[in-house]
Structure 1
Amino acid sequence: MQKNIMTRTIISTPNAPSAIGIYSQAVRSGNTLYLSGQIGLDPKTMQMAEGIDAQIVCVFDNLKAVAEAAGTSLNNALKFNIYLTDLANFAKVNEVMARYVSAPYPARAAVGVKELPRGALVEADAVILVE
């Protein structure tokens, strides 16, 4: 029996925050890219953006930078997972997300959580198709 061995490629870019733990910004396996969760850290200063609106934009900017480093875009996203410390901010996420992806939209989950790393108010990760 022949084994199907998939390779994995680590994706890294200075245009998104460096990992603050033992993980990679993204891992590509075949035509699938798995992006680690991004919070509202400015990649240049590694400081948290001020307020929920700025953090949401920063999260999507960071995801976009990692996707582009892998040769794809957020428009090829298959699924987003969004984590919010206050689900009342869900409409704000929708408003910002619409600037980064267009229809047909990817699958998505939104989860209310007690807290996030570094006191972040929002975090998102994604699975993206690399064509």
Structure 2
Amino acid sequence: MPKQIIFSDKAPAPIGPYSQAVKVNGTVYVSGQIAAELAKSGDIKAETGMVMQNIGHILGAAGLGFQNVVKASIFLRDMNDFTAVNEIYGGFFTKDPPARETVQVARLPKDVNVEISVIAVE
């Protein structure tokens, strides 16, 4: 079962020993994406939009799009941001959205407010 490393230069490079995404048997596992440059702005919608754009670039590098996403995980610093994040996130899944969970966590890398990872299939 060979694995293929997926990389897009349009999305931020990993900040640790992991890949942006890995493809195995037609399934693409996209690592959690953040928007560190927007975290201090206080604009959760802009931060979420950038995260989703980064995911889109990585999916594109794998030859896929948001219609291929079957599972998403959202990690929030503050669950009070749920509605705003959901509004932006939902704009990327206008038909047949994937399965998902959203959890509040104590802290995220680079002190961002939101991190999202997805799993997509061919």
Deviation at 1:94, TM superposition (A): 1.4
Residue 104 of structure 1 pairs with residue 104 of structure 2: no
Q: Where in structure 1 are there 5+ consecutive unaligned residues?
A: 1-5, 42-46
The CA distance in 1 between the partners of 2:32 and 2:111, in whole Å, is 14
1:16 is matched with 11
Deviation digits for residues 21-74 of structure 1 (CA, Å, limit 9, x no counterpart): 000000000110000000114xxxxx3452212111111011111001100001
The 5-angstrom pairing of residues 69-84 of structure 1 reads: 69-84=61-76
Contact 2:5/2:19 (<8 A) preserved: yes
Following TM superposition, the consecutive aligned residue runs of length 4 or more in structure 1 with deviations greater than 2 angstroms are 47-51
Larger helix proportion, structure 1 or 2? 2
Residue 89 of structure 1 pairs with residue 84 of structure 2: no
Count matched residues: 120
2:22 is matched with 27
The CA distance in 2 between the partners of 1:57 and 1:33, in whole Å, is 21
- Highest CA radius of gyration, 1 or 2? 1
Q: CA RMSD in A?
A: 1.1
Match among 14, 39, 52 for residue 60 of structure 1? 52
When normalised by structure 1's length, the TM-score is: 0.87
Q: Percent identity?
A: 38
Secondary structure of the 2:9 match is: coil
Q: Where in structure 2 are there 5+ consecutive unaligned residues?
A: none
Which AA in structure 2 matches 1:39? I
1:44 is matched with none
Which AA in structure 2 matches 1:72? L
